[in-house]
Each structure stands twice: as C-alpha cells, then as structure tokens.
Amino acid sequence: MRSHRRNFLMSGGLATLGVSLLRANGSASLSGTGKRPKNIVYMVSDGMSAGAIALAEIASQADRRRPTNWATLLRDPSVARGMFDQASLSSSVTDSAAASSSWGSGSRVRNGAINTLPDGTALVPLAKLAKEKGLGVGLVTTTSIWDATPAGFASSVPKRSQYEDIVKQYLNRVDVLMGGGRDAFLAEKRADKQDLVAAYRDSGYRIANTKQETGVVKPGDRLLALYGSGSLPYTIDHVRNQADAIQIPALAEMASAALTALSTQPKGFLLQIEGARIDHTAHANDAAALIQEQLAFDEALGVALRFAQQRGDTLVVICTDHGNANPGLNSMGGASGSSDQCLARAMKATASFTEIAKRLGNRADYTMDAAKASDARAVAERLVTNTFKETHGIDLSPAHARAIASAAAGEKGISLNAQQDTLVGVTGQVLANYLGIGFVGTSHTADYATSTAFGPGSEHFEGLLRNTDVFQKLTMLMDTPYHNASADERMSARSTRVADTEPRQWAV
C-alpha cells in the first residue's frame, strides 16, 4: 500500500520543496503584484468541506512525513486567503451546477441550471469571453467532462443533464478537454446520432483515450482526452488496479498535460482543474477514499504551483464550490485508541465503498454459503466482517457487522439520521468508531467555501466574497469586462427554495 502511494504522490514533495527553494533564492514570489496575470489556473476541490484540508494535512504528515501543498500555501503570509458565499438562487445550499455558474457568468441561478436564468435567459459563460479575447481555454476533471463544474465555465443550458448540448458548445470554445463522459461524444450513444469525436478531430483536436496517448501531448496541441464513459476511478482503487493505473492518468498527470498544451498560447489561457471525486466520497461518507482524493488533488496543485513559480505570470486560485457532509476527525479513546491511531487505519484502507459494495452485493456468495449454513443472516454478517478485515484491517463488532449487513440487504431504520439510512451512510457511521472520522450527513452544506490564491492578481481574492464576485474579478483580470443579466431580487434564495438537484452519482 505505502509503495503505491509513494510512487503516485512522489511529485508533491518536490512541489513543497520548490516553495522553500524559490523563497530562499528570491527568484519568485507567490504574493499579488498588482499586475494582470497572463494565465489563470482555477482549481476546484469539488464538494470539499474545510475539514478535508485538515484531514489530508494530518494524514500527509503522518504517512508521508511532509506537509501538503495547500497547507504550505496557507502558512505563507503572502498568499491570499478568502471564503466564498456559495448560495444559489434557489437555496442557501448550492449544487455544483449553480455554484460553477455563479463563477462562470456572475449570476446566481437555480440549482440544476447551467448559466441559465429561470425565465430561460442564456448567460454568456466565461470561456466564451476568454476565447473572444484570444485566450486558450482548458477543462480538466476526474468525472465526466460535461458534468456541472466544468460545464459552468463553458456552456449555457437550462438543465445540467443536457450533456449532449454541453459538449457541442465546448467545440472550438474549449481547447483542452480531459476527463470521463465519452458516451456523450459517440454517435451510437447520442440522440441526434452526431459523431462528436469526429467533429472534434476535424476541428484539429488531438484525440486521446489512454495515459500513453495523453503523454505525447505537445505545446500548442488542442486535446480531447476521454478516459471512459463516466467518472474516473477513485484514487484508492486506481493505484491498486494495474490495468487502470496503466490506462488512466492521475489528476496530477492530467494537469501537467493540460498545462503543457496551453503553455504556448500567445495571449495566455484560462484553465479549470477539478478534483470531482472528493465530492463523491463525501456523499458516500467514505473517509479513507476521501483522504486519498484530497491528496491526489493536492498533487495536481503541486503541478500548478511549479508551473506558476517557473513563469511568474500565472494566477492560481484554489477553492471548493460547496461543503459536503462536513467530515472531521473526532477525539477518540477507549477501545478504539487515539485519534491519530484511528486515522492511521484510514490510511491503510485498500478499497472504496464502491468496490466494497460490489463484494457485499454478490448474492452468489450469500447463496452458496447459505446452502451450507442454517442462518443466511449469519453468512451475510460473516461476509461483511471478512470484507472490512481485508480492506480496512479492522475487526468489526458483531453489532456493527449486523448493521452493515442489514443496510446491504436494503433494510431501513438502522440509522436515526434519515440521510445516512443507506448502505454508505450506515457504513460511514460504523467506521467512524474505528477510523475516528465522522460525517453530519450525505449531502451538501451551506458552509462558506474555502479559497486560496497566489500569483499576480491574487490580492483580489482576499476576504469573504459573494460567489458572483469571482466572475467579475476573473473577467477584469482577463481584460474582458462583461455584465450578464441577473434574476430579480424577488427570486432570492429565501423566497423560492427548491430541492437540491445534485445527481446521486455516489450511490452504490
């Protein structure tokens, strides 16, 4: 386990070391300069509650004997620190579509919409303005490339589920596209039967489907890289699956390829990099997988950090779009041991809840064993016990094994928290007794979103900002001032609340 992580995360130490060396030599500064940046890298740790930064830092210090890049930046007094009020037009608790749209258009929209007002008005997205100014544009994500966060920077549709329209709007508006979601481009999968892969190829894009094909990207390339039909694998699973590790790049590798492709844009570029599966692990209450996703995002941050330090003309903004489930390391004692010992167990885990659920859902195992046993429930509980011993190295109590087995069988009423009365919710609550990490639910929260910025223009991201302020600041820094329409104040969050429409991609 440790050797896998060492290979995968090795570059982060170089990035942290780079901070110290550059300061010592006086050859670069992370502080704002009052100048306009040539390039903007906007990094989104999607669905990240503030506690995730602390979890990743504690885990990195204990397991890798070095700090994370994000925590290193936060310790630097010259780096801008802020928070975003991410409320949507329809709720104090935003979804990713409305959150990214607020940055991408400067207007609050209802949850579920992409840069479109309730009356159907389509707003001009940030990427369109950047292209009109002559800048290169890139979108990188660990989920489908048409998903809400990348879409909020580059498209305008009434519903985030209109992915076929979203990827058509990307064509010739976005120069570098990297992520999952290949089916949205395939003629046999699209309702209109258009071959979008061919359309991109005909427009001069290099097409890549593997890590090897991505590795040959050169400066100036336009790129459409699609690594599967849906989200990329969770990091905790990715580093152990030899086939996936060979075929699918890590987020840091994707970030490096995107920066290489965009690096020679004569007027600069706007690049969004999203660690999307942090959100998914939080929805799933999967503490061990969440920490690995946050560390993988931090490695991508290290790539952006080195790029910015070497050039001195690049603004990097690091943030989240909303909190999710608010994970935190609790004070632990008694039979479970100390908090640090509990966290160490999380770092030794070898599978996500998604992979575990596949094992628990294998009814053939139940049936085969039940034929030899008088109590099928006992068989299920034994399967649960063995699975978590193998993947997390913990010995579940009989009561805890029974609770997970019952949830796996679809029983309800196991948890008093209705949100967590599911397999993932119950599993997260059970493991909190062994890993020390608890969650408040399985959905988004209204917390202010943490942000950090460095490089030219970073001073504009200090303090508490309204999410729509980000668009105004980015367009000002790109020298593309623009004002989109906004909904009437009567459509404020407190008068027109609607249900959160974040799709349940995390369900297993």
Which stretch of 155-164, 209-218, 287-296, 356-365 has the lowest confidence by average pLDDT? 356-365
The conformation of residue 505, written as its DSSP 8-state character, comes to: T
Average pLDDT over residues 96-106: 98
pLDDT tops 90 at residue 18? no
Residue 252 and residue 5 in contact, taking contact as beta carbons nearer than 8 Å:
no
Whole-number Cα distances in Å, 250 to 43, 67, 188, 283, 290 = 15, 20, 28, 21, 15
Q: How confident is the model at residue 5 (pLDDT cuts 50, 70, 90)?
A: very low
Q: Helix, strand, or coil here: 133?
A: coil
Average pLDDT over residues 449-463: 97
Residue 322 and residue 333 in contact, taking contact as beta carbons nearer than 8 Å:
no
Q: How far apart are CA 112 and CA 96, in angstroms?
A: 8
Furthest-apart CA atoms within the chain: distance in Å: 75
SS3 content of the chain, % helix, strand, coil (to 5): 45, 15, 40
Q: How confident is the model at residue 439 (pLDDT cuts 50, 70, 90)?
A: very high
Q: How confident is the model at residue 362 (pLDDT cuts 50, 70, 90)?
A: low
Q: How far apart are CA 502 and CA 124, in angstroms?
A: 23
Phi/psi of residue 496, nearest 5 degrees: -140, 50
Q: How confident is the model at residue 488 (pLDDT cuts 50, 70, 90)?
A: low
pLDDT tops 70 at residue 371? no
Contacts 24+ apart (CB under 8 A), 397-401: 400/430, 400/433
Residue 92 and residue 72 in contact, taking contact as beta carbons nearer than 8 Å:
no
Q: What is the mean pLDDT of the chain?
A: 89
Confidence (pLDDT) at 442: 97
Tokens 């009356």 found at: 119
Beta-strand runs (E) in 309-424: 314-319, 323-324, 328-329
Phi/psi of residue 196, nearest 5 degrees: -75, -30
- Residue 334, Ramachandran bin (φ over 0: left; ψ between -120 and 50: alpha; else beta): left
pLDDT in tens, 138-148: 999 999 999 99
Q: How far apart are CA 346 and CA 288, in angstroms?
A: 5
Domains of the chain: 2-24+39-327+443-491 (3.40.720.10), 330-438 (no CATH)
Question: Pairing relation of β-strands 444-445 and 323-324?
Answer: antiparallel
pLDDT in tens, 286-344: 999 999 999 999 999 999 999 999 999 999 999 999 999 999 999 998 767 799 999 99
Confidence (pLDDT) at 8: 31
Q: How far apart are CA 251 and CA 140, in angstroms?
A: 8
Confidence (pLDDT) at 32: 52
Residue 445 and residue 49 in contact, taking contact as beta carbons nearer than 8 Å:
yes
Closest listed residue to residue 276, CA positions, set 29, 453, 505: 505
Residue 108 and residue 467 in contact, taking contact as beta carbons nearer than 8 Å:
yes
Confidence (pLDDT) at 467: 97
Average pLDDT over residues 386-396: 96
Residue 113 and residue 99 in contact, taking contact as beta carbons nearer than 8 Å:
no
Q: How far apart are CA 183 and CA 209, in angstroms?
A: 12
Q: How confident is the model at residue 10 (pLDDT cuts 50, 70, 90)?
A: very low
Question: Pairing relation of β-strands 205-208 and 176-180?
Answer: unpaired
Residue 438 and residue 330 in contact, taking contact as beta carbons nearer than 8 Å:
yes
Q: Which positions ≥6 away from 167 have C-beta within 8 Å?
A: 145, 146, 181, 184, 185, 196
Q: How far apart are CA 506 and CA 508, in angstroms?
A: 6
- Residue 333, Ramachandran bin (φ over 0: left; ψ between -120 and 50: alpha; else beta): beta
Confidence (pLDDT) at 11: 39
Q: Cβ atoms within 10 A of the Cβ of 42, count?
A: 23
Q: How confident is the model at residue 372 (pLDDT cuts 50, 70, 90)?
A: low
Confidence (pLDDT) at 377: 82
Which letter, b or e, does each residue of 187-204 get, where b requires 16 or more Cβ atoms within 10 Å of its Cβ?
Answer: eeebeeeeebbebbeeee
Average pLDDT over residues 75-82: 95
Question: Pairing relation of β-strands 449-454 and 314-319?
Answer: antiparallel
Which stretch of 28-37, 103-112, 162-171, 453-462 has the lowest confidence by average pLDDT? 28-37
One-letter amino acid at 96 equals S
Which stretch of 351-355, 371-375, 381-385 has the lowest confidence by average pLDDT? 371-375
User: What pTM was computed for the model?
Assistant: 0.89
pLDDT in tens, 158-193: 999 999 999 999 999 999 999 999 999 999 999 999
Handedness of CA 15, 20, 26, 29 (dihedral sign): positive
Q: How confident is the model at residue 25 (pLDDT cuts 50, 70, 90)?
A: very low
